[in-house]
């Protein structure tokens, strides 16, 4: 085994064995996790559920170590691989927050996500205790971060979602259209993604919502490019939004974008298996208020007005749906002991 690989493996081993994993330069209380980073070339999405009947002390001990590990991984990646744009963001579900006896009152809008049912399509709700969003331009680093987290979580939880996302051309989904054009940029990313005065107790935190979509590629490819553009509301080649007098009222752009003052930060990534033709999009967004996300989902699945649902849902099915709270780095650091 080459010396550099042995060195990297040794570092990960030390991280696992060190249960304290004290970090230097403890982060400021209200500093957010890396929720405003831009989508990366390689991404791991992991959803874990705690096993029933796990001893409370063991559960809390592992959770404490995982919180410290996330802080450590981000600091280590920044120091050792500054050009990799690597980060790990951890979110906590409502039931996990209660089970772990985390601070009360809870973040104002943290709850179990309830399914949103339209006449034809449903935004399903699925259980999730912890969510990890791992990004890196270096695929090996993303893998190692996911692996070391999984080694620690395996003793008390089951991974119910593991998605390996990748950048497709110029940030396009597998459907062929650019994804995330309406994302805010610059300081607006923090404004729309990070809690400020909305909930003073949890400044620096974010609401994280995720859905795993599976595309019906055969049905999609049966459409002409012009028909596909009407479903999305944008040109496929040049990524230019249709004018309001041409854009269909049930297009994705018309219903998913609910106003310039109601935005979220999306980090969607394509994933899937080419051989089985099961390709999809992992929808992920960070928001300062979850009510913004709920309004968007209501528009898409129920319709605005009701019945005028998002046409893209005829070709993309949501198979998961979960809400998590992303604590600030300071709060996460305090959870790590």
Taking only the tens place, the pLDDT of each residue in 289-330 is: 999 999 999 999 999 999 999 999 999 999 999 999 999 999
pTM for the model stands at 0.91
- Which domain range does residue 256 map to? 3-102+111-335
Instruction: Burial-class residue 237 by CB neighbours within 10 Å (0-12, 13-18, 19+).
Output: exposed
How many CB atoms are located within 10 Å of the residue 293 CB? 21
Structural domain count, the chain = 1
Judge contact between 268 and 277, C-beta under 8 A.
Answer: no
The whole-number pLDDT of residue 18 equals: 43
pLDDT digits over 86-130, tens only?
A: 999 999 999 999 999 999 999 999 999 999 999 999 999 999 999
Distance CA 270, CA 70 (A): 24
User: What is the pLDDT tens value at each position of the chain, 337 positions in all?
Assistant: 444 444 344 344 444 444 343 333 444 479 999 999 998 999 999 999 999 999 999 999 999 999 999 999 999 999 999 999 999 999 999 999 999 999 999 999 999 999 999 999 999 999 999 999 999 999 999 999 999 999 999 999 999 999 999 999 999 999 999 999 999 999 999 999 999 999 999 999 999 999 999 999 999 999 999 999 999 999 999 999 999 999 999 999 999 999 999 999 999 999 999 999 899 999 999 999 999 999 999 999 999 999 999 999 999 999 999 999 999 999 999 999 7
Long-range pairs, 143-146, Cβ under 8 A, ≥24: 143/44, 144/8, 144/12, 145/44, 145/73, 145/77, 145/86, 145/88, 146/44, 146/46
Residue with tokens 């809400």: 323
Please, what's the largest Cα pairwise distance for the chain? Answer: 63
Residues marked active site are found at: 179
Classify 49 as helix, strand or coil: strand
The whole-number pLDDT of residue 15 equals: 44
């Amino acid at each position: 085994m080459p010396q550099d690989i042995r060195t990297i493996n040794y570092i990960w081993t030390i991280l696992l064995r060190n249960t304290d994993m004290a970090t230097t330069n403890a982060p400021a209380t209200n500093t957010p996790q890396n929720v405003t980073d831009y989508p990366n070339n390689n991404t791991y999405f992991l959803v874990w559920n705690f096993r029933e009947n796990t001893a409370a002390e063991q559960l809390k001990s592992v959770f404490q170590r995982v919180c410290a590990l996330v802080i450590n991984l981000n600091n280590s990646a920044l120091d050792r691989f500054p050009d990799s744009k690597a980060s790990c963001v951890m979110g906590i579900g409502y039931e996990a927050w209660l089970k772990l006896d985390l601070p009360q009152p809870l973040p104002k809008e943290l709850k179990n996500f309830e399914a949103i049912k339209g006449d034809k399509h449903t935004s399903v709700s699925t259980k999730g205790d912890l969510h990890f969003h791992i990004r890196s331009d270096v695929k090996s680093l993303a893998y190692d971060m996911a692996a070391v987290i999984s080694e620690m979580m395996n003793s008390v939880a089951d991974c119910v979602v593991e998605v390996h996302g990748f950048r497709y051309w110029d940030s396009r989904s597998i459907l062929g259209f650019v994804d995330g054009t309406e994302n805010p940029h610059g300081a607006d990313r923090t404004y729309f993604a990070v809690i400020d005065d909305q909930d003073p107790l949890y400044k620096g935190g974010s609401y994280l919502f995720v859905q795993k979509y599976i595309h019906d590629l055969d049905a999609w490819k049966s459409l002409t490019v012009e028909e596909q553009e009407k479903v999305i509301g944008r040109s496929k080649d040049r990524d230019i939004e249709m004018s309001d007098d041409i854009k269909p009222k049930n297009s994705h752009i018309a219903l998913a974008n609910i106003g310039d003052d109601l935005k979220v930060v999306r980090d969607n990534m394509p994933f899937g298996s080419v051989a089985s033709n099961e390709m999809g999009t992992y929808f992920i967004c960070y928001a300062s208020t979850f009510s913004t996300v709920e309004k968007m989902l209501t528009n898409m699945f129920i319709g605005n007005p009701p019945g005028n649902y998002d046409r893209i849902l005829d070709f993309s099915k949501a198979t998961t749906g979960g809400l998590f709270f992303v604590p600030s780095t300071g709060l996460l650091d305090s959870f790590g002991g």
